[in-house]
Structures are given as structure tokens and as C-alpha cells.
Amino acid sequence: MPRPRAAQPLITPVQEEAWFALLYAHALVTDRIEKILLERHGISFSSFEIVCRLIDREPQPVRALSAQLVSVSPTRASRLMQELVDSGRLRRGADQSDGRVSLVSLTEEGRSWASGVSRTFEEAVREHFVMALDPEDLAALTRIWEKLSKGCPSQA
């Protein structure tokens, strides 16, 4: 059943279809990658995003790390970080310059484990994203991201 429409739509059917295509593509690809990560390493896509942020820069304040994440809310990120701490892959500590700030970093076991998970992630991205697109598609996505990240021209 078609949904009711406003008398004068603000977006065209083609624009609406493009919006949903973006959402569906994201959901489809992340779901495929998550299934592989869960099968091989027992880690969700969202938890892996936390690990990825730490591989490049650690330790990090928990709040700052939570704010960088795309796939989860800060509240959920905190729970996922605690699960990674409980599993021995992350550790928490206090910031020496401000004891109120909680820092998180990879343990030695976590760093070694993260290396294997990262390889699996790269293989899955290659199989389910890169190989499905040609170089022009990839360049177009990059251009689209650059435009969207700058915000709406009327907000500039």
C-alpha cells in the first residue's frame, strides 16, 4: 500500500529512491561483513569499529572514542567496550593527567587478535564491496561522501 504523500512533495521519487538505495546498500554490505566477522572471530561489526579506532591510536578517552563511532550510540559503545574488556582484549585505565578520564587501549592479546580480525575485515570488504564495483563507482562514492560531508550549501 503506498504511503500518503504531502500535497507538494519536497523530494522527487528518484531522489527518494536514491536515499533508500544508499541505506539499503549500507545495510546489505555491513550485514554481510558482520556475518563473516562473527563466524570467524565472534565479533560484531560495531565492536570491530571500536577495535579499528584503537589500532591506529591508543590509548583513547572512552568518551572521545565513543564520539568517533558511526555504527553505534555512545551508550551502546560503552557496553561493547566493557564486553571487550571482559574478554581480555581491551583494558581501561585512568588518565594520569586527569583521573576522572577513563582511557581504553588494546591488551597484548587484543592487539594480536585484532591483527587477524583486521585481515578478515579487509578480505570481506574486498569481496562484498570493492569487487562488486568498478573504479568509477568507487570514485563516485568518494565524490558523494566529500559533497555530503561538507553539508548542505544553504548551511554554509
What domains does the chain contain, in order, with CATH numbers?
18-146 (1.10.10.10)
Phi, psi of 99 (to 5 degrees): -60, -15
Phi, psi of 118 (to 5 degrees): -60, -40
pLDDT of residue 156: 46
pLDDT, residue 95, reads: 73
Q: How confident is the model at residue 154 (pLDDT cuts 50, 70, 90)?
A: low
Please report, rounded to a whole number, the percentage of residues in the chain having pLDDT higher than 90: 63
What's the pLDDT score for residue 74?
A: 84
Backbone angles phi and psi of 53, in degrees to 5: -65, -30
In the structure, what pLDDT confidence band is assigned to residue 5 with cuts at 50, 70 and 90?
Answer: low
pLDDT (tens digit per residue) in 22-48? 999 999 999 999 999 999 999 999 999
Contact 91, 104 (CB under 8 A): yes
Min mean pLDDT across 33-42, 62-71, 105-114, 116-125 is at 62-71
User: Residue 92's beta-bridge partner residues?
Assistant: 104
Q: Cα–Cα distance between 59 and 51 in angstroms, integer?
A: 11
Cell of 70: 558511526
pLDDT of residue 132: 95
